[in-house]
Amino acid sequence: MNQRLDMPAPVAIKLPATMAPLPLPPAERARLSERIKRLLKERDAVFVAHYYVDEDLQRLAEETGGCVADCANAQNCVKACPKDIPLTESIAEVNRQAWKQALLGWLIG
């Protein structure tokens, strides 16, 4: 059985020349920083920032017990993770579950 799937034509998206966020007023920055700190503590979470993100985010990660790391691939994240989470196994499991759901949806749906 040879079945053709009609796919929509790709859509061109024009991105702005710069993706830099607009600067926040100091009061808003402080409010958000405190909210993030509170949520991290409530959820026993760790903030891992990347080297290429805003310096405020890097500083916040370090202030809250997280770190600044290069998680370009899963192995770097495993080394950098302060909570010793088995990241590669977790990512693989999520990937398996997503594929399973997609295949079941395709077969059933």
List the structure tokens of 60.
């916040």
What was the pLDDT predicted at 55?
Answer: 87
To the nearest 10°, the Cα dihedral for 101, 102, 103, 106?
A: 120
What was the pLDDT predicted at 18?
Answer: 61
Q: Write the pLDDT tens digit of every residue in 68-93.
A: 877 665 566 666 666 677 777 777 88
List the structure tokens of 57.
């985010």
Q: Write the pLDDT tens digit of every residue in 2-27.
A: 444 555 555 665 656 566 667 889 99
Single-letter amino acid, residue 79: K
Mean pLDDT, range 35-56, rounded to an integer: 87
Beta strands, E only, 1-109: 48-50, 67-69
**Model pTM?**
0.51
54-88 burial by CB neighbour count: b if 16+ within 10 A, else e? eeebbebbeebebebbebeeeeebbebbeeeeebe
List the structure tokens of 25.
């007023």
